[in-house]
Each structure stands twice: as structure tokens, then as C-alpha cells.
Amino acid sequence: MSDSKCKATNSAAPRMPMVKTPADVEALSSLTEEEKALALDNLKKVPLSDGWALMGNDPELQAFMHIIEQQATALLDGDFQCAPLTPMNLVTLEAVRRSGNDYMKTLFFAITAVELREFNKEEDYPKLGLLDDPDCSLWTEEERLVLKFAQAVLDNKMTDELFSQARTAWGDKKLLRLFFWMGYVNLWGLLNNMLNIKFTPDMMTEGMKKGFPPAVIPNIVGPFQKTRKDLLEFWKTIPEIPHMNPPTSE
């Protein structure tokens, strides 16, 4: 392999243009005028972290993915990906830990560390180094269950016993919703790896260092419930599919 190829392979540059400003949108020759209008609208609706900014190359998909994130969060009824050591946060940490993407892993571990301070849970800092040891005595029973569930899902090693424990603890809906959220997080890990998104020291902004005070989180996730209701109303307008006979168990 030539030196030039090595440099291309190891480049830290993302593999598509960042779309963070109106000028970035205008420079996208692959978009129609209608798509550019949507991309401009999206600049005001999606967080412009690097992953989201790269998705601006396909503004329709970018919008759809943000709707998915809002809906997945709303379905977990008040939980939040950055609320430290909640089920949603723990499955997020486990998924990003295994994603092989340093951006996702650094981002969520840094945010969770800050949030432990914001939630006055500084005594739980050691847990961030113990995700691969759910049997450690520092974990609560629910935290231990969440980690074992996440690991079994991500390793394709679910057992009847563990599934039964999770189902008893959370009920069918929460179990399925945590599973879905893990899949969404895993998608972002794959996407960031494909696009070569890396975490750099300058990304530790003052906002990240300050974190989200607990009182702010309901203001973040609360509006997502409107998305949830609107999607249910939209679903009612979707026509029924023609009768089909797919393979099914008795």
C-alpha cells in the first residue's frame, strides 16, 4: 500500500461535507432548490453536532431521523439519553461503548460524567468504568438488569431467564422501546464510522462542560410528546395494506 493510500485511509476528515450554515447548504450541488429549502429549515430544527450536520447532505432523511429520535424518546416517557444511569442512558452507553466509534463513546461518556455532577451523583463516577462488569456490587438491581439486557441484545445472546426478568421489571412496551432505542444508537455508531467522524478536544464546548440541569430535561423531552401525538394522527391516514399471507407461526 502506498504512502498516499495510507494517508487517505487514516485521514481524520469526514467523508462528506458538513452542513451547518446557509452557505454550506447553497454549496450542495446535489440538492434541488426544494431540498435546499428543507435543508435550511432543518438548520433550525436539528442539533448541529457533526453527525447531524453530515446528514444535511440528505435533508429529507435528516428530518426523518430526527423525528425517529423524538418519537423514540417520547415513547420512553420522561427518560432521557443523558439522564445519568437511567435505563435509556445505560443502554446508550453500552451501545456506544461497543460501536467502535470514538466520537459517540467520548461524547456520551463525557456528557454522562457531567450529568452525574448535575444530578449530585458524584459517588457514581466509578460506574462509568464498570459497564463491562454488571455483577459488580456498585450497581443497583435495575442498573444491573439494564446492562445485562443490553449486552445480551448486542451480543445476540438473550436467554429466556434474562428476557423474563426484563419483561417482569419493565413490561412488554418498555422492553421493546429500550430495544428500539439501542438499535437507533447503534445506527448512529455505524453512520459515524462510515463518515469518519472523530472526537477532537475542541469539541468539549462550554455547554457540554455545564451539562443539562435536571430541571431542564423535562423542557427538552416534553415537546416530543406533541410529535408522538401528531404521528399517531398521521398514522390514522395511512391506508390499509392489501391482504397478504406472510409466513407465520401457528
pLDDT digits (tens, 9 = 90+) for 175-188: 999 999 999 999 99
Model pLDDT, residue 247? 75
Question: Is the predicted pLDDT of residue 3 greater than 90, yes or no?
Answer: no
Question: Is the predicted pLDDT of residue 7 greater than 70, yes or no?
Answer: no
Q: How do residues 44-98 score in pLDDT, each as one tens digit? A: 999 988 999 999 999 999 999 999 999 999 999 989 999 999 999 999 999 999 9
Model pLDDT, residue 206? 65
Q: Do residues 84 and 47 both lie within one domain?
A: no
Q: Do residues 53 and 21 both lie within one domain?
A: yes
Among the residue ranges 25-29, 66-70, 214-218, the one predicted with the least confidence is 214-218
Model pLDDT, residue 175? 98
Question: Is the predicted pLDDT of residue 10 greater than 60, yes or no?
Answer: no
Mean pLDDT rounded to a whole number for the chain? 91
Model pLDDT, residue 4? 36
**Domains in the chain: how many in total?**
2
Average pLDDT score over residue span 128-149? 97
Residue 173 lies in a domain: yes
What is the DSSP code string of 76-128? TTT--TTSTTSHHHHHHHHHHHHH--HHHHHHHHHHHHHHHHHTT-GGGGGGG
Model pLDDT, residue 78? 83
Question: Is the predicted pLDDT of residue 9 greater than 50, yes or no?
Answer: no
Q: Do residues 33 and 151 both lie within one domain?
A: no
What is the DSSP code string of the chain? --HHHHHHHH--S-SS----SHHHHHT-TTS-HHHHHHHHHHTTTS--SHHHHHHTTSHHHHHHHHHHHHHHHHHTTT--TTSTTSHHHHHHHHHHHHH--HHHHHHHHHHHHHHHHHTT-GGGGGGGG-TT-TTSTTS-HHHHHHHHHHHHHHHT---HHHHHHHHHHHHHHHHHHHHHHHHHHHHHHHHHHHHT----GGG--HHHHH---GGGHHHHHTTHHHHHHHHHHHHTTSPPPPP-------
Residue 247 lies in a domain: no
Question: Is the predicted pLDDT of residue 15 greater than 70, yes or no?
Answer: yes
Residue 246 lies in a domain: no
Q: Residue 213 corresponds to which amino acid?
A: P
Residue 51 lies in a domain: yes
Q: Do residues 114 and 165 both lie within one domain?
A: yes
Residues of the domain holding 189: 80-214
Q: Do residues 93 and 141 both lie within one domain?
A: yes
Question: Is the predicted pLDDT of residue 31 greater than 70, yes or no?
Answer: yes
Q: Please, are residues 74 and 225 in contact by the beta-carbon 8 Å criterion?
A: yes
Task: State pTM to two decimals.
Answer: 0.89
Among the residue ranges 34-38, 130-134, 246-250, the one predicted with the least confidence is 246-250
Q: Do residues 21 and 95 both lie within one domain?
A: no
Owner of C-alpha cell 457533526: 50
